[in-house]
A and B are shown apart, each in its own frame.
Chain A
Amino acid sequence: MSMNLNLTLKVWRQKNSNDKGHMETYEARDISTEMSFLEMLDVVNEKLALEGKEPIAFDNDCREGICGTCGAVVNGIAHGPQKATTLCQLHMRHFKDGDVIYIEPWRSKAFKVVKDLIVDRSAFDKIIQAGGYVSVNTGQAPEANNIPISPEKAELAMDAAACIGCGACVAACPNASAMLFVSAKISHLALLPQGKVEASERTLSMLRKMDELGFGNCSNERECEAVCPKEISIANIARFNREFIKANLGSTVE
């Protein structure tokens, strides 16, 4: 059954990347429990706009949990309290009347705040540019069924490839490490015969780029896995570590 909630929001407001930023308090009145979290913010923003104030800027696009655009740390947890759920798919029925909700942007040296809850995640693109691909030009592909792939491997690769690049893993990691994101791509490609060919170059080059961009180091705290909306496993991080050993000590790639 739908109910209405009155909530207090503590939201991070920051004009631009040079601004210092601060928490600001808003009242959200008559919020239906059937709303999504972002729809709740829409309601708050409509009110702000009518008052001539600047609405809270937040990134969002597909609102069905697949594009990876949205995300904020809600009451201390990336994407909020609901497991395996992006912020856009979190619904207000998981909150109680009178709740105080803290909403903060992803925090990491590698993700600068652009405005309010919006951060710059271009670091992820840069990591993929460093090797998150199979080097095959259009037209070079052999007939698709020439290389059989066991369903087991295809499924494992798919588990890793399901990553939506939202950055929650970095936001949740006590060290702001990007290992889950990077390992998901390394794993996806290392598990497939097409990707194995350049695995060593890829592993070393993506790792170096990740380090260079200022992400922290993995200390196996498993917070990334706990908040990942696609439930990507840290088994992928272990695979990345294995791939590193292979590339470091088992290949001629420097």
Chain B
Amino acid sequence: MQLESRAPGGPLQEKWDKHRFDLKLVNPANKRKFDIIVVGTGLAGGSAAATLAESGYNVKNFCIQDSPRRAHSIAAQGGINAAKNYPGDGDSIRRLFYDTIKGGDFRARESNVYRLAQISNEIIDQCTAQGVPFAREYGGMLANRSFGGAQVSRTFYARGQTGQQLLLGAYSALMRQVGAGNIEMFPRREVLDIIVVDGQARGIVVRNLITGEIESHAAHAVIMATGGYANTYYLSTNAMNSNVNAIWRAYKKGAFFANPCYVQIHPTCIPVHGTYQSKLTLMSESLRNDGRVWVPRKSGDKRNPNDIPESERDYYLERKYPSFGNLVPRDVASRNAKAQCDEGKGVGSTGLAVYLDFRDAIKRDGAEAIRKKYGNLFQMYERITAQDPYRTPMMIYPAIHYVMGGLWVDYNLMSTVPGLFVLGEANFSDHGANRLGASALMQGLADGYFVIPYTLGGYIAGSSLSDVNESHQAFKDSVKKQTEQINKLLSINGKRTVDDFHKQLGHVLWDNCGMARNDADMEKAKKMIPEIRDEFWQNVTVPGSAGDLNQSLERANRVADFLEFAELLVEDAISRRESCGCHFNVDFQTEEHEAKRDDENCSYVSAWEYNGEGKEPTLHKEPLEFENIELTQRSYK
């Protein structure tokens, strides 16, 4: 099968405009005849469902949470980028485009990223009109701040809760359409299967998480906005319920999975402190503006950090990267922290942490100035660790945070299964091998508000769609198969809990396919994952029944998929014979220990095709062509 990106030709600036003109339209009066399923209610799913309903489609919207307002987009802190250039500091659509491509280490599609930069401004307009309380300047105009990876101030923000406010904006638009009867809302539903009829996505099978009933829902097209799979690693900053199920099951129905090995690790998280730990908490990257990162010079130095004299401290980022210092990009900061801990210089009870010290900043600016800037973060840190960062240095360690990989989509955001569209973090489209801060929110909303309403119409108008309803055999077969899998999980009655397996998988992945990867470890992981999976299916215990609310069963179903997906993640990491962005294979590094790309041979998107259970997946490569920018090596010395 040939991967067709469907990116339009012509000059970069005109592609999206031209494409919208070329797309066929659905008559407004006809739209209500089309049922559209949207899975997910985060920034991408919520905005898509609302916008499609506004334009007249009959929308069914699903989410796993009890309310659409709880999607994990809500946890994004920093902000959202847009090329408004309000500060007049030299920003432009082209610069946002360029920064995003470069930040992604030149592994994203030019046409998609340019469109994203073009749309960014409309997003700010839309969200402001919805009543998102963005920060303001004294004169009442919108305020901007700077963020990693850019030399201009283009980030719009609402305190440290930008994701929450944007999500509540999309949620309010969604609720308006639910209230108007244009959207039917299905909360507490988890996708079990995608229904493909005559090669087209025509519905989904879900489990009602309250009654346990397995329900069928037919539609003319299916949109997935189900987020990322960071929880494959067990410990991540993602929400507890974030999972890979929906896109993994779509993969098994023919949707190609792109770049699964691109996993972003955030350098400033609160370190792991015990085996019982359920999740990691991210501290905003902005802390590195004033905090200095260091470890003791001597390995195994267990002294109180305040007792370690200046001469025995190693400010390793400042030492190795004199020009960027503590402000090197996320991937570089993360890898260096790991390297220090690997040398035995890590601090804290586990030895897996480095100090982030505000002593000098407090001395220079005073505690009050620091409190103003970071007070809420310090408070959050103290709440979790019971340590006062004004007096003792913070301890931080990198953690899995976001995934750039996801289902492969074309310029229309359609997967390789016609009629199955994928938006937001669930697709692979815009961030290449590394995402810049404040760009995830931009992408989710661009996809949902401004891309899918056009491209979905093009698909609907241009396809012949037969009559398919819930009584179609494909639904019946799927319900039967899913019921069997659930009953199987409940009948194993083994000796280990679901979480126990998930933790084991997480360890294997983190140790062998984490921040700094090497072939030997990855091969080891590739061998271990099927072993864990086999044991899971023989020795897991899932209490409770299938016919009611059963959180153990929900988790078992998710972990079963993580155990399959993890193998593909490792496979993808092994197959990429270069380092780029967040994928760092130690065999491919520059003399300065930076990721060394191979643009000659590896400038491609990997897209994996499922070939059936127990069979090796096929790797397809979508070549990336750069007509508008020159590829360069990143350096932060």
A–B proximity contact (CB within 8 A): yes
Q: Which residues of A contact B (CB under 8 A)?
A: 2, 15-16, 32, 34-36, 38-39, 42-43, 46, 48-50, 52-55, 57, 59-64, 66-69, 82, 85, 89, 91, 93, 114-115, 118, 120-122, 124-125, 128-145, 147-151, 154-155, 157-158, 161-162, 164-165, 188-189, 192, 194-195
User: What are 5 A-to-B residue pairs whose CB atoms are below 8 Å?
Assistant: A50-B495, A61-B70, A62-B70, A64-B282, A144-B84
B499 interface contact, C-beta 8 A: yes
Shortest Cβ distance from A7 into chain B, in angstroms? 14
A125 touches B240 (CB 8 A): no
A128 adjacent to B172 (CB under 8 Å): yes
Asked whether A132 and B175 contact (CB < 8 A) given A63-B279, A122-B66, A145-B142, the answer is yes
**What are the nearest 5 A-B pairs in CB distance?**
A148-B140, A129-B179, A141-B129, A133-B172, A141-B125
Q: Specify which of A43, A114, A165 is in contact with B69 (CB 8 Å cutoff).
A: A165
Determine whether the beta carbon of A32 is less than 8 Å from that of B179.
Answer: no
Cα–Cα distance between A138 and B54 once the two chains are bound (Å): 8
Known: A67-B72, A89-B384. 6 other contacts (CB 8 A): A16-B548, A89-B383, A122-B66, A145-B141, A150-B140, A194-B129
- Considering the complex, give the chain A residue whose CB is closest to the CB of B126: A141
B551 contacts A55, CB within 8 Å? yes
Residue of chain B at shortest CB distance from A90: B383
Q: Name the residue of chain A whose CB is nearest to the CB of B498.
A: A49
- Contact A54–B544 (Cβ < 8 Å): yes
Interface residues of B, Cβ cutoff 8 Å to A: 47, 50-51, 54, 65-70, 72, 74-75, 84, 86, 122, 124-126, 128-131, 133-142, 158-159, 161, 164-165, 168, 171-173, 175-176, 178-179, 185, 187, 210, 237, 239-241, 273-274, 276-279, 281-282, 349, 380, 383-386, 449-450, 453, 493, 495, 497-500, 541, 543-544, 548-552
> Known contacts being A93-B386, A142-B129, A151-B140, is A137 close to B54, with CB within 8 Å?
yes
Q: Are the CB atoms of B161 and A66 closer together than 8 Å?
A: yes
Asked whether B131 lies within 8 Å of A189 as measured between CB atoms, the reply is: yes
Q: Is there an interface contact between B240 and A46, defined as CB atoms closer than 8 Å?
A: no
CB distance from A69 to the nearest CB of B (A): 5
Closest Cβ of chain A to B268, distance in Å, is: 14
If the complex has contacts A42-B276, A64-B75, A67-B72, are A129 and B543 also in contact, measured as CB distance less than 8 A?
no
Whether the Cβ atoms of A16 and B67 lie closer than 8 Å is no
- A135 with B70: in contact, given A42-B276, A158-B158 (CB under 8 Å)? no
> Within the complex, which residue of B69, B131, B141, B551 is in contact with A194, where a contact is CB–CB below 8 Å?
B131
* Contact for A125 among B68, B124, B548, B552, CB less than 8 A: B68
Query: Shortest Cβ distance from A197 into chain B, in angstroms?
Result: 10
Docked CA distance A207–B51 (Å) = 27
Whether B74 pairs with A52 at a CB distance below 8 angstroms is no
Decide if A46 touches B136 in the complex (CB within 8 Å): no
Whether the Cβ atoms of B274 and A154 lie closer than 8 Å is no
Q: Are B239 and A144 in contact (CB under 8 A)?
A: no
Residues of A within 8 A of B548 (CB): 15-16, 115
Tell me whether A59 and B276 are in contact (CB under 8 A): no
Contact check, A154 vs B75: say whether CB atoms are below 8 A apart.
no
**Distance in angstroms between the alpha carbons of A78 and B134 in the assembled complex:** 30
Given the contacts A39-B277, A42-B278, A125-B67, A151 and B138 also touching, CB distance less than 8 Å: yes
Q: Give A48 to B135 CA distance when docked, in angstroms.
A: 47
How far does the Cβ of B554 sit from chain A's closest Cβ, in whole Å?
10
Which residues of A lie under 8 Å from residue B129 when comparing CB positions?
134, 136, 140-142, 144, 194
B54 to chain A, nearest CB (A): 5
A143 / chain B contacts, CB cutoff of 8 Å = 125
A61 touches B128 (CB 8 A): no
CB distance from B441 to the nearest CB of A (A): 14
CA distance A154 to B499 in the complex (A): 43
Which residues of the other chain, A, contact B65 by a CB distance below 8 angstroms? 61, 67, 69
Quote the shortest CB–CB distance from A126 to chain B (angstroms).
8
Contact A55 B543 (CB under 8 A): yes
Quote the shortest CB–CB distance from B533 to chain A (angstroms). Answer: 20
Q: How far is the CB of B573 from chain A (nearest CB, A)?
A: 28
**Does B130 contact A134, Cβ atoms closer than 8 Å?**
yes
The residue in chain B whose Cβ has the minimal distance to the Cβ of A1 is B386
The distance in angstroms between the C-alpha atoms of A195 and B128, with both chains bound, is 10
User: Which residue of B383, B500, B549 is within 8 Å of A114 (Cβ)?
Assistant: B549
Within 8 Å by CB of B125, from A43, A63, A144, lies: A144
Is the Cβ of A121 less than 8 Å from the Cβ of B276?
no
B residues near A48, Cβ cutoff 8 Å: 543
Specify which of A59, A62, A128, A137 is in contact with B72 (CB 8 Å cutoff): A62
In the docked arrangement, what's the CA distance between A132 and B131, Å?
11
Residues of A within 8 A of B54 (CB): 137-138
Interface pair B161/A162, CB less than 8 Å apart? yes
How far, in angstroms, from A170 to B162 measured CA to CA in the complex?
Answer: 26
**Which one of A59, A134, A138, A151 has the highest number of Cβ atoms from chain B below 10 Å of its Cβ?**
A138
Q: Which residues of chain B are near A54, meaning CB under 8 Å?
A: 543-544, 550, 552
Asked if B74 and A66 sit within 8 Å, CB to CB, the answer is: yes
* Nearest B residue (CB) for A133: B172
Docked complex Cα distance between A62 and B128 (Å) = 26
Contact status A49-B497, CB under 8 Å: yes
B159 to chain A, nearest CB (A): 6
Q: Which of A53, A133, A149, A150 has the most CB of B within 10 A?
A: A133
- Chain A residue at smallest Cβ distance from B445: A138
Q: Are the CB atoms of B239 and A91 closer together than 8 Å?
A: no
Complex Cα distance, B267 from A143, in Å, reads 36
Separation of A1 and B85 alpha carbons in the complex (Å): 49
Query: In the complex the two chains form, what is the Cα distance from A249 to B158 in whole Å?
Result: 34
Q: CB-nearest residue of chain B relative to A157?
A: B133
Given A89-B383, A149-B136, A194-B131, A61 and B549 contact (CB-CB distance below 8 Å)? no
Please pick, from A93, A125, A134, the residue contacting B131 in the complex, using a CB distance under 8 A. A134
The CA of A64 and the CA of B164, in the complex, are separated in Å by 12
The distance in angstroms between the C-alpha atoms of A134 and B65, with both chains bound, is: 24
Q: Which residues of the other chain, B, contact A63 by a CB distance below 8 angstroms?
A: 239-240, 278-279, 281
A89-B383, A161-B165 known; A62 vs B178 contact (CB < 8 Å):
no
How far, in Å, is B45 (CB) from chain A's closest CB?
Answer: 14
Contact A32 B274 (CB under 8 A): yes
Q: Which residues of A contact B141 (CB under 8 A)?
A: 145, 148
C-alpha gap A164/B122 in the complex (Å): 26
- Of all chain A residues, which has the CB nearest B275? A32
Q: With both chains docked as a complex, state the minimum distance between the C-beta of A85 and any C-beta of chain B, in angstroms.
A: 7
A240 → chain B closest CB, angstroms: 16
Task: Assess whether B125 is in contact with A121, with CB atoms less than 8 Å apart.
Answer: no
Q: In the complex the two chains form, what is the Cα distance from A182 to B383 in whole Å?
A: 28
Whole-angstrom CA separation of A63 from B270 in the bound complex: 13
Write out the residue numbers on chain A whose beta carbons fall within 8 Å of the beta carbon of B273.
2, 34
CB neighbours (8 Å) of A59 from chain B are 66
- Residues on B with beta carbons closer than 8 Å to the beta carbon of A158: 133, 158-159, 165
Contacts of B277 in A (CB 8 A): 39
Contact of A133 among B173, B185, B210 (CB under 8 A): B173
- CB contact between A130 and one of B122, B164, B179, B550 (< 8 Å): that residue: B179
Is there contact, CB below 8 Å, between B240 and A61?
yes
CB-CB < 8 A to A85: which residues of B?
383
Q: Are B549 and A52 in contact (CB under 8 A)?
A: no
Q: Are B543 and A62 in contact (CB under 8 A)?
A: no
Cα A157 to Cα B158 with chains together (Å):
11
